[in-house]
Structure 1
Amino acid sequence: MESRTNLLSPRESAALFDLPRAAADCRIVVAMSGGVDSSVVAALAAASGAEVIGITLQLYDYGAATGRKGACCAGDDIRDARTVADRLGFAHYVFDHESAFREEVVDRFADDYLTGRTPIPCIRCNMGPKFTDLLRMARELGADCLATGHYVRRLMGPAGAELHRALDPARDQSYFLYGTTEAQLDYLRFPLGGLPKAEVRRIAEEFGLAVAAKPDSQDICFVPDGDYARIVKSVRPDGVRPGRIVHAESGEDLGGHAGVIHFTVGQRRGLEIGGQPEPLYVISLDADSAEVRVGPRRLLAVGGAHIVETNRIGPLPDGGLTAKVRSMARPVPVTLDGSLGDGANVTLRFAEPEFGVAPGQAAVIYAGERVVGGGWIEGTDPV
Structure 2
Amino acid sequence: MNILIKIAIRNIRRNFSTTLLNGAGISCTAILLLLIFSLSKGIETFIVQRNIQFETGALSIEFDKQLLRQENNELAIPLLKEIESKLKNDRNVAKYSYRVYPPNCILYHGENQIKVNPNGMQKSDLPLFQDMFKVLAGKLEDENKGEVLISDGISKELNIKVKDKITIMAQSVDGTINLEEYPVGGIFRYTSLANKYNVYMDYNKGMSLYNSKLPSKIIIQVRNLDNIEEAKKILKTEITSIQESLNIPPSYIKISSYLDGIGLAKSLSNINRYSMMSLAFFLLMISFVGIWSMQTENRILREKETGTMLSFGFSGRSVRTIYSIESIYMGSIYTAIGITVVILIVKSINLQGGVFLGEAASFAFGSSIINPILTVKDISITILLCLFYPLLATLISLIENKRNTIEYLKNK
Larger Rg: 2
TM-score after normalising by structure 1: 0.20
TM-score after normalising by structure 2: 0.19
* Structure with more relative contact order (C-alpha pairs < 8 Å, separation 6 or more): 2
Choose between structure 1 and 2: higher helix proportion. Answer: 2
